[in-house]
Structure 1
């Protein structure tokens, strides 16, 4: 029994010591912008049985030192130190009636100097002190501004600063970027201020010209999650750019109502136009109307020449010119409309074309000559007369082959030269089938031979042989080894 009683006493003591303890609940971090309001929460979790709260003290912990901000005491009431009196207060009025379980304070009109760690400390009896801490961060929203270096920029040939983008007194620092179609470059500088803020400065540089005039330039400032943009349009002053319009290349004699216009692009606009004709004076009856030359009379040769227009603005003077040519007659296109004359091709091109044509013509003539030569007589240009022929001499043409026999029969007991006993040709020369005697003297007569590839070049008249009716050789003829005969007069020459 004594042991059981001792166990219960120990259990009661453990229950008392293990009862719910005291704690202070706060946020870990809080933040706010300069000039805004922020709450710093502080709750006391009491024990069971509860302990007595003697006092609550708020302190600022900065650079290792503590500074009192506000105090709440059940007997003395609420007190806020002078440095925070205008900007710090307890959230719940019940604190003044000693209800100290929730001692949340409210910071208004935050300053950068308010950034620190804040401690909420509870003094209790008999448990002692309980405390917790919150870190307060103060942000500073930057002041952004974009400005032109000058309201007007004069065009020149070197790179210059045309605009500035500024993000001043920000915390944390901003990021600056440029957005534009201009071909330029930017610079970036950061400077830290004494109060902990940062100023970011960026310049944009470009070569000012006629092309940059009227271009949009945008600065983009990114601050934390915010995106701030500002834009300007460049105003660049430049000299006139001059072109003369009106000459279409088809000014012909007696043409009516022609004119020339001086078209100038300038900033600021052109204030003075001046016309002149090189190497002479302007034609008679010409009227000048600001930037236009009006020719009242029909076109004459007097109107030809080089016309110059000088355009002037506050930046400078620039000129444009046009060469006017006058033709005798209007130039017509293939559709019947007047056409602007085209310049003649380079004479060197025509010379090259002519040379090619000559080469092609020479090649064609050479080919034709060689072709004709292949078709010319290829026989023996001698004075011999062949018995088996039609009496062709040196300049005579060649007869074609007679039809070749289909069947050749030779006597078995003949020692002489084999002679065809019969030549059967379908139709022969005249289309009639004939029999030839193998012993005929005509078959022994020699004849010309012609290349087979040329036989088709002879007509029917060539194929119609006229055989010499002479059957015997005359006395004044001499036989040759090739079967031909020549005159004795020629033989002895």
Structure 2
């Protein structure tokens, strides 16, 4: 038995391999294998077999056949293992990106004739460099949404810690499409990491009918209702309903048009919108009113009223101008009262009638007095006597006229003068100083010659003599 075992050990030594290979995670290693003392033995095939340390199942990870070439069966090493020089003389392999789980025994096995299989084993030891660090991973959320965030941590692979955070909220249609950002802070990072997300919320249609202005009157044309809807996913149908639908109504997709409003439009219009999550609807009840008044008639009436008001204002302005002018004239006439009364007898005779303020009328003109003398003539008396001094008491022409010595014809002329004076006093006095009428008799020695003179009435109420009066 021992001899047999010795022969087995001698036979196994024909395959030359490395007893042990040490590596670190992430490195690339080479596992060598040769059959140097071949002799009369024929080599037909070589294979690499992995035997994990946790006593799991063995896996062929690489096979070489001189006729069929290299083959890599499915295993945890797929994509990471290759023959360095595919041949029976040097069937060494390389393994890239070594992991902690790659640790175990790697067997290089030859298929020979006539001795059978010959093999050699290499032990792979994976060492992990210690990292004595402690850091806190914080996760936060940035969003305008209303919700709550929760964060939890637990052990991960290769002695790491996994931190997870959740943001919980009640989905609402108005939140669809809003942004949500997860921010991660950790000591190993130079700056915070932002992970942007966009929220997608599915909801049935939300419907709103717009366009009704509560002014649908008989005869109005082309009024429009529009069915607006939001939904996710997008709505796939829009249906208008009314009971019954009037003939004057046209429907095209989400738009309903009333060509002409009449009593049949006095109904309720319903819009239904549907997607795969459900149906949404809205309704509008139309109230048909009496026809509105013609805006053109309203404009005509308004124009007539404005024109009438302007005409009244113009008439009032004219009346105000006339009244103001009349008042000014009257005030001007009354303002000259100090000039003395402009009566007929004064203009003719320069009589002694006084004005309202006691001053004599027309005191600026000459005063004629009648002096009883042999010639019985009218003489001119100066009007420059000082105030307070009595004038000459010699009878004046006025006194003569008022006496009973006048004959009938002379008294008739005097009565006419009196009547004209009374009529003239009914008017306001003229503004400014009136011209003084001076009497010059034909014959200074015969006063009766003046009294018999022809008198001529004027338009202003005065009388003058054609032969004895001058202005």
Fold equivalence (TM over 0.5): no
| TM-score, scaled to structure 2 | 0.34
- Specify which structure has the higher proportion of helix: 2
